[in-house]
């Protein structure tokens, strides 16, 4: 089932049965490899905003993308205080990483970010819309850690991106799990001019 259809069905179910269903049991977000570009140095101005770096003359190149969602457990309850880390290529597909040999990355883009989920499990990152590079479809790497839950490393994809279907890592998942990693993306001029918004919830499995 597509993510869009899941969202529509979830919305319809909430209208029929009230908000209680919003906390229905959920499938844990599938794990994906961290890949070769996981950040090695998290020091400096690292926070939820990857687009603006303190003291730099301008913001990052590329389209601003607000990635928003919640961290939940498999009962659908919010997970507060989860530590979320993301990293991704810049607007031209280059990572801020010592292994990046293609070209220097955008000096105005942070390349990675960290934040904590709030009391309601909500989180937000301000970043740029990911682009494809070297055989990979557009994606954002995620790591999530919270006491009592299994640490999660995964990747977020853009729903409806035709290049997803040619991506080995994405296609390595079955249909249902692919849908869990696809974030619907839409214009978000209400948040910021010319920006888009990607909605991506993460569901953590309990520790065993
Ligand atoms: Fe990557």
Q: How far is the CA of 139 from the centre of ligand 1 (A)?
A: 6
Taking the centre of ligand 1 as the mean of its atom positions, its distance from the CA of residue 156, in whole angstroms, is 10
Q: CA angle at residue 45 from 43 to 49, to 5 degrees? A: 125
CA dihedral 82, 23, 140, 177 (to 10 degrees): 130
Q: What is the pLDDT of residue 22?
A: 64
Cα 93 to ligand 1 centroid, rounded to whole Å: 9
Give 14 Cα–ligand 1 centroid separation in angstroms.
35
- Residue 179 alpha carbon to ligand 1 centre in Å: 19
DSSP string, 53-70: -TT-SSPPSS-EEEEEEE
Find the 37 Cα to ligand 1 centroid distance in Å. 7
Per-residue pLDDT of the chain (208 residues; tens, 9 = 90+): 444 444 444 444 444 444 444 678 999 999 999 999 999 999 888 999 999 999 999 999 999 999 999 999 999 999 999 999 999 999 999 999 998 888 899 999 999 999 999 999 999 999 999 999 989 999 999 999 999 999 999 999 999 999 999 999 999 999 999 999 999 999 999 999 999 999 999 999 999 7
Please say whether the beta carbons of 137 and 183 come within 8 A. Answer: no
Nearest in space to 81 (alpha carbons), one of 37, 29, 122, 117: 117
The Cα 22–Cα 13 span in angstroms is 9
Residue 154, beta-bridge partner list: 142
DSSP H helical ranges for the chain: 3-17, 168-171, 175-181
CA of 5 to the centre of ligand 1 (A): 27
What is the spatial distance between Cα 84 and Cα 113, in angstroms, rounded to a whole number? 8
| Distance of CA 96 from the midpoint of ligand 1 (Å) | 11
Q: Calculate how far, in angstroms, residue 13's C-alpha sits from the geometric centre of ligand 1.
A: 35
| Cα atoms in the 13 Å half-sphere on the side-chain side of 77 | 7
Q: Cα(77) to centroid of ligand 1, in Å?
A: 29
Residues in the chain, how many? 208
In CATH, the number for domain 25-204 is 2.60.130.10
Q: What are phi and psi of 117, to 5 degrees?
A: -75, 150
Confidence at residue 141, expressed as pLDDT on a 0 to 100 scale: 98
Q: Report whether 112 contacts 42 (CB < 8 A).
A: yes
Return the structure tokens found at 130: 């990911």
Distance 35 CA to ligand 1 centre (A): 6
Q: How far is the CA of 75 from the centre of ligand 1 (A)?
A: 30
């Amino acid at each position: 089932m597509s993510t869009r259809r899941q969202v529509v069905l979830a919305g319809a179910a909430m209208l029929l049965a009230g908000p209680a269903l919003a906390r229905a049991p959920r499938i844990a977000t599938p794990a994906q490899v961290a890949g070769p570009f996981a950040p090695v140095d998290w020091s400096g101005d690292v926070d939820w905003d990857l687009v603006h770096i303190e003291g730099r003359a301008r913001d990052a190149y590329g389209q601003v993308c607000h990635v928003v969602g919640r961290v939940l457990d498999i009962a659908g309850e919010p997970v507060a205080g989860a530590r979320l880390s993301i990293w991704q290529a810049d607007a031209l597909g280059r990572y801020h990483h010592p292994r990046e040999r293609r070209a220097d990355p955008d000096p105005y883009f942070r390349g990675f970010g960290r934040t904590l989920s709030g009391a309601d499990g909500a989180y937000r990152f301000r970043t740029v819309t990911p682009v494809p590079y070297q055989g990979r479809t557009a994606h954002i790497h995620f790591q999530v850690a919270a006491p009592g839950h299994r640490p999660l490393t995964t990747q977020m994809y853009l729903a409806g991106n035709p290049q997803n279907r040619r991506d080995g890592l994405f296609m390595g998942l079955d249909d249902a799990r692919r849908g869990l990693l696809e974030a619907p993306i839409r214009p978000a001029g209400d948040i910021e001019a010319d920006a888009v918004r990607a909605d991506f919830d993460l569901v953590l499995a309990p520790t065993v």
